[in-house]
Amino acid sequence: MSQKLINRSSDLKRLRDEGYEIEVSGGYLLIHHIPFVDQNRQIQYGVLVSTLTLSGSNMTTAPDNHVIYFIGDNPCSIDGTIITAIQHSNVNSVLNSQITVNRSFSNKPTTGYPNYYEKVKRYADIISAPAKYIDPSVTEKTFKVIADIADETVFQYIDTNSSRANIEAVNAKLEGQKIAIIGLGGTGAYILDMVAKAPVKEIHLFDGDSFGQHNAFRSPGAASKSDLNENLRKAEYYQRLYSNMHKYIYVHDYYLKEENLLDLDKMDYVFVCVDKNEIRKMITDYLVRIGISFSDVGLGVNIVDGKLTGALRVTSSTSGKNDHLPLRIFSQGSDNNEYATNIQIAELNALNAIFAILKWKKISGVYVDLENEHHSSYTISTSKIFNEDVVRT
């Protein structure tokens, strides 16, 4: 299926976004799962097939004719009599090696069909009306999962959400990026959950720890008992889970050390989600040295009078702004890091991840960024967000 053709053609895109099961095969447009009534007054499903007229190979133009083919028996009215008003031919025809049709129909508007949306909708409405009268629950708009069989995207199936929201061009700014997530204990896993839904080129997972029962209670999704019993590495567990959506997720099931930091050299953006300050400092210093942008997350929660309080932060670095890092990211010996406690709660991990994702997407040009801050903190007790280390333009 040529998803690029569908995305560039407003009529085909509208059909897909409204839930029609469309497919492009060779020079033909196929619309699957069209309900109709047969001569025994039973509801069946057929396939509409139309020739496809293109402008070059990029997008559709107006249909070259008003006739449409059909795979299936003759559609009938609710009494089982054939709908004669659209009859054209009842001869089997081989259109190509993959498509053999059983008949064709003709229903021509005075001025013809201006686009494929109008053509398909007209025939679908006529053919399916008796079936919908007999059973109002039947529909041709199934929103069936559309697999990316042509390997045109990084996803296992097509991102129709971005299409329906008309933000594909905005999201395309993330294409080509190689993303690293270092640490998958809590916040890092939620970052992965959102990065896996973005059209980035590659996602690299760095973590040498195993996925344990405690991780399940502060991570996205719902791990099964069999998942836990496998005792998988975190990187392997999450790669298996999120490869259901994104094709290019790579496992690095080891801890980063001085000798293997070069594994980050080809990344475009890095999320640092570790809880040991000396490791955090080692990684971020290296990223600054080689000029790779990153966001480092921190979460500090304490128990006070039987309630939880604390703060979370996102500290980011780009080639144009990194002089603030010595005041934000500390070595192990510092007693000035309020984010060093290890109480982790799912909603706070998720919120910390969301802030990090928003900053990455702002840096990538997806969201408007009027503050241009490189250090942001959220205080739980007051629900206030503080933006600091701002770059003035």
pLDDT at 1: 45
| Distant-in-sequence contacts of 285-291, Cβ < 8 A, 24+ apart | 286/261, 287/317, 288/317, 288/322, 288/325, 290/264, 290/265, 291/319
pLDDT at 160: 65
Report whether 27 contacts 52 (CB < 8 A).
Answer: yes
CA dist 203 and 268 (Å) reads: 10
Question: Residues spanned by CATH 3.40.50.720 within the chain?
Answer: 160-390
pLDDT at 335: 45
Per-residue pLDDT of the chain (393 residues; tens, 9 = 90+): 467 788 889 999 999 999 999 988 767 899 999 999 999 999 999 999 998 888 865 789 999 899 999 999 999 999 999 999 999 999 999 887 788 999 999 999 988 999 999 999 999 999 999 999 999 999 999 998 767 666 678 988 777 677 567 577 788 899 999 999 999 988 999 999 999 999 999 999 999 999 999 999 999 999 999 999 999 999 999 999 999 999 999 999 999 999 999 999 999 999 999 989 999 999 999 999 999 999 999 998 999 999 999 999 999 999 999 999 999 998 765 444 555 567 889 999 999 999 999 999 999 999 999 999 999 999 999 999 999 999 987
Q: Which residues contact 228 (CB under 8 A, 6 or more apart)?
A: 211, 212, 213, 216
pTM: 0.76
Residue 303 is inside which H or E element, if any? strand 293-304
pLDDT at 269: 98
pLDDT at 56: 67
Report whether 22 contacts 30 (CB < 8 A).
Answer: yes
Helix, strand and coil in the chain, % to nearest 5 = 30, 30, 40
Per CATH, which fold does 160-390 belong to? Rossmann fold (3.40.50)
Q: Give me the amino acid identity at 295.
A: S
CA dist 325 and 316 (Å) reads: 8
Q: CA torsion sign, 346 to 351 to 352 to 357?
A: positive
pLDDT at 339: 56
Q: CA torsion sign, 28 to 32 to 37 to 38?
A: positive
pLDDT at 168: 74
Report whether 146 contacts 160 (CB < 8 A).
Answer: yes
